[in-house]
Amino acid sequence: MSASPSPISQSPFRTPKEREEQRELKRDALLLAAVRMFNERGFHATSLDDVAASLGVTKPVIYHYLGNKDQVLFECVHIGLRQMQDAADRAGRAPGSGLERLKAFLRSYAEVIMADFGTCVARTVEESMSPESRARFRAHKGEIDRALRDLIEEAVRDGSVACADVRLTAFTFAGALNWAARWYRPDVPKSAAELADGMVEMLCRSIAR
């Protein structure tokens, strides 16, 4: 009777879960390299060869994990917009007055704008995208705008805010915070959180009762 083979304590072959985790790690690294180059150089001045070279890989690797340049840009802005949507969802569930929930969203929004993917959202010119990506980009931005207006309207209804034109107020607040993508630098004396808090307090003072 032959002896059973000894069990291997650790297989050299990755499990499907491990392979998927590795794929996500590589994809995230490519996206971060791309978004930082888009923000620093501009979309048109950045090639996929540049992004690939920064990580010591070739352009076909980017095609494999992300697709073409338009798809890479859309994925970058999609991440930033998803972060904003998550912030809106959290604020909508938070306790407190309508004004407090509005401030919570605006602070998170400002911090996203000062981070890599949010900066890409604010700096991206829609005309840089393909018609399909442009339509999806506009639709997703519209959802964020609607979420902001909903929070302002809720604050008006509970009396914590006085606002005659919700749409204009939303555009004004978003425009002011989006501009931080142009002037913010990580080496400034105050942190992104401190700057976000200061900007939001300044903006909301104009509508708070």
Show the DSSP H helices in 94-191 as ranges. Answer: 98-113, 116-123, 131-157, 166-178, 180-183
The C-alpha atoms of residue 9 and residue 21 are separated, in whole angstroms, by: 21
Mean pLDDT in residue range 112-129: 95
Q: How far apart are CA 30 and CA 57, in angstroms?
A: 10
Mean pLDDT of the chain: 93
Q: And the tokens for 131?
A: 């018609």
7 confidence band (pLDDT: 50, 70, 90): low
Q: What percent of the chain has pLDDT over 70?
A: 94
CATH pick for 17-67 out of 3.40.50.10300, 1.20.120.140, 3.20.20.70, 1.10.10.60: 1.10.10.60
Q: How far apart (Å, rounded) are the C-alpha atoms in residues 141 and 85?
A: 9
| Integer-rounded Cα radius of gyration of the chain | 22
Spatial contact of 81 and 141, defined as CB atoms under 8 Å apart: yes
Number of CB atoms found within 10 A of residue 99's CB = 21
Long-range contacts formed by 42-47: CB under 8 A, 24+ apart: 43/73, 43/124, 43/125, 43/128, 44/128
CATH architecture of 68-204: Orthogonal Bundle (1.10)
Residues of the chain with CATH 1.10.357.10: 68-204
The pLDDT tens digits of the residues spanning 158-201 come to 999 999 999 999 999 999 999 999 999 988 889 999 999 999 99
**pLDDT tens string 73-114:** 999 999 999 999 999 999 999 999 999 999 999 999 999 999
Q: How far is the C-alpha of 33 from the C-alpha of 42, rounded, in Å?
A: 13
Q: What is the mean pLDDT of residues 33-44?
A: 96
pLDDT at 6: 55
> What residues contact residue 192 under an 8 Å CB cut-off, 6+ apart?
110, 111, 114, 115, 184, 186
Give me the pLDDT at residue 118, please. 98
